[in-house]
Homo-oligomer: A and B are copies of this chain.
Amino acid sequence: MLAAHFVRKRYGHGELLFSEGDPCRGLYIIESGKLRIFKSSPNGREQVLAVEGPGGSVAELPVFDGGPYPASASTVEDSQILFVSRPDLRSFCLQHPEVALKMLAVVGARLRRLVGIIEELSFTTVRQRLVAALVRLAQATGKQTDRGIEFELAGTHQEMAHQLGTVRELVSRNLMRLQAEGLLDVEARSIVVLDMPGLSALLEANP
């Protein structure tokens, strides 16, 4: 039905789909692989806004408000991406209102996550953000073993830092500190949570 206007394309890992400020041409839908949406600062800092996997989409927003992309997007691994041009999507939504509502729901979910990031940035310390990320990873990908809950970090410390809105050293240091406190066992990129209750407790209190 929309046949003619889809474009399917392969990307290698680390390829840039678009940069913030670029005029918006259309919507990207992930068939396979993984994308990250991020802001970068002149000083080389980065803040990841979202990581999307298969089924996810990127740049739903500027398709509708006509402005430029507010952030950049790049692949994290080899990916297959479907591209839908802006005019096609608009007319499709006009013909199928329920699709427009779906889009609203997707955008809504994204908005929710952004609010969450703002909350973390303005109310919590790097340490707490790191702990929160670890707990999320443990729940999502962790395996219960005799030593504790075991899992791998999703990328380098540098990449973690980008997601937490900080720098590499702080990730490294805070991991070491959590280990020193007996909550974790860290071996480069693989983590064993020794004391999950103790870890979660850090999310509540302020000191």
Which residues of A line the B interface, CB within 8 A? 39, 41-43, 45, 47, 49, 61-62, 64-67, 70-71, 90, 93-98, 100-101, 103-105, 107-112, 114-119, 121-123, 165, 206
Q: Is B45's CB under 8 angstroms from A111's CB?
A: no
CA gap between A13 and B118 in the complex, in Å: 26
- Other-chain contact of A49, B45, B103, B110, B115 (Cβ < 8 Å): B115
With contact pairs A117-B118, A165-B122 given, residues A65 and B105 touching in the complex (Cβ less than 8 Å): yes
What does DSSP make chain A's interface, helix, strand, loop or mixed?
A: helix
Copies of the polypeptide in the assembly:
2
Q: Is A118's CB under 8 angstroms from B119's CB?
A: no
Q: How far is the CB of A97 from chain B (nearest CB, A)?
A: 4
Q: How far is the CB of A66 from chain B (nearest CB, A)?
A: 7
Q: Is B206's CB under 8 angstroms from A64's CB?
A: no
Q: Is B108's CB under 8 angstroms from A62's CB?
A: yes
CA gap between A117 and B65 in the complex, in Å: 18
With contact pairs A118-B39, A118-B118, A119-B39 given, residues A111 and B107 touching in the complex (Cβ less than 8 Å): yes
Q: How far is the CB of A59 from chain B (nearest CB, A)?
A: 11
Q: Which residue of B lies closest to A90 (CB)?
A: B101
CA gap between A140 and B11 in the complex, in Å: 44
Q: Is A123's CB under 8 angstroms from B70's CB?
A: no
Q: Enumerate chain B residues within 8 angstroms of A118, measured Cβ to Cβ.
A: 39, 47, 49, 114, 117-118, 121, 165
Q: Is B123's CB under 8 angstroms from A61's CB?
A: no
Q: Enumerate chain B residues within 8 angstroms of A165, measured Cβ to Cβ.
A: 118, 121-122
Residue in A47, A61, A105, A117 with the greatest tally of chain B CB atoms within 10 Å: A61
